[in-house]
Amino acid sequence: MTFDDQVEVTLPTGAKAKVHTGLLINGQFVKSKSGKKFPTVNPATGEVIVELYEAEKADIDDAVKAAKAAFKTWRHTDGAERGKLLLKFADLIEANHQTLAAVETLDQGKLLAGNIGHAFSTAAALRYFAGFADKIHGKTMMDTDKFFNFTRHEPYGVTAGIIPWNYPMDMWSWKVGPSVACGNVIIIKTSEKTPLSGLLLGALAKEAGFPDGVIQVVSGYGPSAGQAIVEHPEISKIAFTGSGRTGRRILETASKTNLKKVSLELGGKSPALVFDDADLDKAVGVLAGTFYYNNAQTCVASSRIYVQKGIADAFTQKFTAAAQAIKIGSPFENGVTQGPLVDDIQFNNVLKYIDAGKQEGKLLAGGNKVGNAGYFIEPTVFAGVPEKAKIMAEEIFGPVVCINTFETEDEVIERANNTTYGLAAGLFTKDLNRAIRVSSLLDAGTIWVNSWMDVHVNMPFGGYKESGQGRELGEYALNEWTQIKSVKINMA
């Protein structure tokens, strides 16, 4: 008897959607070996949406076995054919974007309009890497008549992606796209907080015609499913996006097991520098709009804003007004500009940071929870916060921003770089020379000038310092999913 893992759920709009609850292993949705389940919760209400089967070590073993078998054929599939499958997959995502967006909004709390955009950007990432599938090239070297030398960029084989809960669809495609384009097979572990859209993507990959075992999706917790993936001796490469603490554990475990290739995209405490000559209204609009997007549950959130003293009062007044104008409510409701935090853990952590901030700086706006149901917090603005304060030094991952002032360029660069993180930074100025000079001195993997959070698939993304290692997106991402073989042919 075939196992039907789909459950119909009712959306706040009254529409119905079917979600998967099983593990996608070897082309089929199956129950976990243990039969254990875990709940995923609607953050707008705190209510359970559905229970899903929880992957553990035995399930990861099954997924790896299927992946190994699939790789034997997949590695020899023409790059053009791999690209065609990715393109068909992207088309299916666009055709089903409304369902994907609605399910992710229900599960994660991001605004529905935002998730519609993320469904299309997910498809765009897959299309981008589809174009590289038949362009994985090495080099030839004829430095002597005695040897013909060339290099091959070969797949690792069985790979894995462990993705976070803040941008589930995008992070899924950032791992799957380059991995399978390069000829690898991949196991994706979704976050236990937001597993639903990842399973839907897995179903669409199956519909697109990917062979069984090439793309597999498992749901579960980090200490069980995630740890089993990291420890597995037959997984050769892992890409992880998440916290620095977990990233360190992954590196440590990889070093103690099979020294698998690891790429990490970790946290951030990104500084935004607003100079006197900046377009004030543009700076306020961009920074307020992007910071509070997704409730600031974004690794590149501009949580430290430094404003030059000549415009500091005007900027702070306008930014605070923009924060106070944000409408909080159901992410499915028209006119709402901020939904809930992802769950009760994140909700309570952010409230603790706000309490600490009230002791460290001046609260200008927000700072309170909203309503009695769900995980809503007001957009919060602090000013005059000491550089060593908890809310200035630590990643909050919630709608809490600090605005401080500065006088000179040298001073603000030093303060901006005085952090263990280095994921993103940016500046607002009309002076092109300053833009180039300052961007070269900021210690971060991505620098925005007169913009923020403009992440495009053709540009590499990743961090300096404790914000990670390796790059995603762009042609640079291919380096993370292939290994280089040197071949020397004796012609003497």
Q: pLDDT tens for residues 339-348?
A: 999 999 999 9
Residue 36 gets which letter from DSSP? Answer: -
pLDDT, tens digit (0-9, with 9 covering 90-100), for 101-136: 999 999 999 999 999 999 999 999 999 999 999 999
Mean pLDDT (the chain) is: 96
Q: Using the CB atoms, write b or e for 412-433: b if 16+ within 10 Å.
A: bbebbbebebbbbbbbbbeeee
Measured CA distances, 200 to 22, 76, 118 (Å): 11, 27, 14
Packing angle of the helix pair 79-95, 97-108 (nearest 10 deg): 70
Q: Summarize the confidence of residues 320-324 as an average pLDDT.
A: 97
Residue 1 pLDDT exceeds 80:
no
Q: Which tokens go with 287?
A: 């920074």
Q: For 222-258, what is each residue's pLDDT tens digit?
A: 999 999 999 999 999 999 999 999 999 999 999 999 9
Domain 6-266+467-486: give its CATH architecture. Answer: 3-Layer(aba) Sandwich (3.40)
Q: Shortest CA distance to 71 belongs to which of 159, 152, 139?
A: 159
pLDDT at 142 over 90: no
Residue 198 CB neighbours (<10 A): 26
Question: What share of the chain has pLDDT > 70, as a percent?
Answer: 100
pLDDT per residue as tens digits for the range 12-49: 989 999 999 999 999 999 999 999 999 999 999 999 99
pLDDT tens per residue, range 159-182: 999 999 999 999 999 999 999 999
Q: What's the angle, vertex CA 83, arms to CA 236 and CA 187, rounded to 5?
A: 30
Q: Which residues contact 241 (CB under 8 A, 6 or more apart)?
A: 162, 163, 164, 171, 174, 264, 265, 266, 299
Domains 6-266+467-486 and 271-456 share a fold: no
Domain 271-456 has CATH 1.10.1060.10: no
Average pLDDT of 354-358?
96
Residue in 54, 104, 192, 265 annotated catalytic: 265
User: Phi, psi (5° rounding) for residue 125?
Assistant: -65, -40
Helix runs in 131-216, H state only: 168-181, 196-208
What is the rounded CA–CA span in Å between residue 473 and residue 476?
A: 7
Query: How do residues 57-72 score in pLDDT, each as one tens digit?
Result: 999 999 999 999 999 9
E strand or H helix at 104, and its extent? helix 97-108
Domain positions in the chain: 6-266+467-486, 271-456
Helices (H), 325-443: 344-360, 390-393, 409-417, 432-441
Which of 151, 146, 122, 105 minimizes the C-alpha distance to 13?
105
- Beta-bridge partner residues of 28: 25
User: Over the stretch 272-293, which tens digit does the pLDDT of each residue have?
Assistant: 999 999 999 999 999 999 999 9
pLDDT-based confidence at 445, cuts 50/70/90?
Answer: very high
pLDDT of residue 143: 77
399/306 Cα distance (integer angstroms): 17
Question: Is-catalytic flag, 475?
Answer: no
Q: Sorting pLDDT into bands at 50, 70 and 90, what band is 381?
A: very high
Segment 140-168 shows an average pLDDT of 94
Tokens (6 digits) for 284? 């306020």
For residue range 457-481, list pLDDT tens digits in order: 999 999 999 999 999 999 999 999 9
pLDDT band at 2 (very low <50, low <70, confident <90, very high): low
